[in-house]
A and B are shown apart, each in its own frame.
Chain A
């Protein structure tokens, strides 16, 4: 355990391999292919954003990496270990409302350590420490419903990162927040990610968000989702809010907009979630 923590700080764990992966969802007659033939690798410590139109299967891919959905073809692996089911090695943050409503903030965050068998005082100390890191000192005794949406997502991130996962999977984590809170949370995330370097896949349909956060942006097509572009971003770190108005940024934004501009599909596709069809 100790070896792994020091490893992750030197960014040598968290390599993700997606090898020729296809995922089908739905039962018998209603079955359909959500993603087709995805093939890419993510280096340890990278922050990759996956962009794509609604229903393109980007959340499906995330759910499969978390171990909540089986792949139909191909192989998923993290650090050469095949993904066979959920594990605290692969933390997932949903869009909203997945904190345990009956647990106070501190106990929500301490859930992972509790499952690992840590004693009460030890896990509370660990929880308080990471809550301080995400800027929630003083809210340890609140229930989730007493927090704003942005604060709830900070707790979500803390609850996952306390397990020091190999990879952090985020499914439109700021999608339900207002614009102002959202851009603040993007900076919070980058700050935390710098302090606890973790390979991160961040699913979003907000192009600016992807460009602001990522080292690399993977653009997916409409269903069945395939990779149509894999862009390494030239922006340095730390990122500043002014980045979004720089010429390079605007140029990339226009390029991705063109990629995502599709002829309208005959009927709107059902939204997909990391747990399958909604």
Chain B
């Protein structure tokens, strides 16, 4: 589908979040590290919606509270202390983090505020042990240039990252969160909604990412950067899409969202044509458990065996529509399903627009089902198997979503998947409910500090490119790649410390890492220090440059090991003089006749023979030197 984005009136705003690497968290001294092991500490909490004098209560949060949702937090003592557990007040704000945000803000021509006030933004889904996220504005109103266009920047803020969800239990009534990530400093940068095409959104995100990387203080790797997109169409809705992890995915996400909104607008029109409206869709749920008593469907069987229920509802006039594709592998039925999962804590739903035989549901069962809910040919039926309470909540959510389909596109918060599609996350929260974090004193941003940061701003990308090309003799293309690479900041220091040729280092940090990523190598498992060590080993002759990628790959699969371990395990140890002597003796002996005949002129032939034996394990210069000595 080709879409004329200008014609449909697409508007996109970006919010880029990236973790800062300043050695510790934002409000305590814990290291910004995640853990993979079983937790040493778990504790159970409930978060209550607090009363506001504005009288607003977050609907999703209130619903979860009423349902008795509990949160099980997981921690270990290496990555979190009492502050993350909400058992100790926060420490004063990490000034290094403030300075990094200030640096990025000034690079984006923003105006720093005179005094920073940390706020509490109410978030009671459990992702923050406190029930709020601490956040503060550092600077406002700037701009960056992307191509020929000036993109206005609204604000830059500094905030604490949230805990990460690790699962649910007790039929969804207990949500598990790991608090290792909680408190890692995040920079948030927001553009004005002045981006008009998917590709432009991606280019702006790249430009911002480059600036953030230029501070030299941002984290790298999966989960360290998250892009939120605000996508709106004049006839659609403003949709907030959270957590796009890959920059390259942004254009796809925007494109799919436009497709989804256009598809939903078409569905609305089709429903109107058929006379289906809000009132046509009733919450008349029918217990159809008996129909599935003997079912072969595994999912339903499991529920029936547990004495749970199968509940069904008719969606009048929805036959064919629930199955209509809105994005690749995503139908209106998926929208209904997402709502059911969120509000009803169920694993999913079934609807009559899908091939139910795939779930071993028979035609007879479907027939009985249709009869039970009184569905006509033009109606769809949605059914779900779970506890009585969950099925009720799930179908209630399904009917609500179907009703919304009659009136347009619901404004909501969605989450981005790896394939670029998005799923329902939660209703859009009301106006941000923020109040001051009184435990943290305000922080002045003095003119002296601004001047200090201003006079130490990193080199802008264009200048840096020109310098890299000139100073290191790189070609323009490689230079550009280096500037866009996540590893770009490693280039100069690695060249300097290892003495390896600049082009070798640059090629590895750009093309090779990209290729390795495509092959499925987990780049994040190898630290900057390890990368530098690899090159130092090359520089000192311990490792052949041809083996760099192999060592890197091995390290990514063997966390906690050293470059020396890799060299040993891969049998890449370079030959020393002593190791080479017998090889050269052997080569000379094997070619004795030629050596006698040609004398010194046998060098070329002998060199070829020797290198054949030791390629990748010996420095050719060393082999040549030894050979020459022997031929004397």
Q: Do A and B come from one complex?
A: no
**What residues of chain B have their CB less than 8 Å away from a CB belonging to chain A?**
none
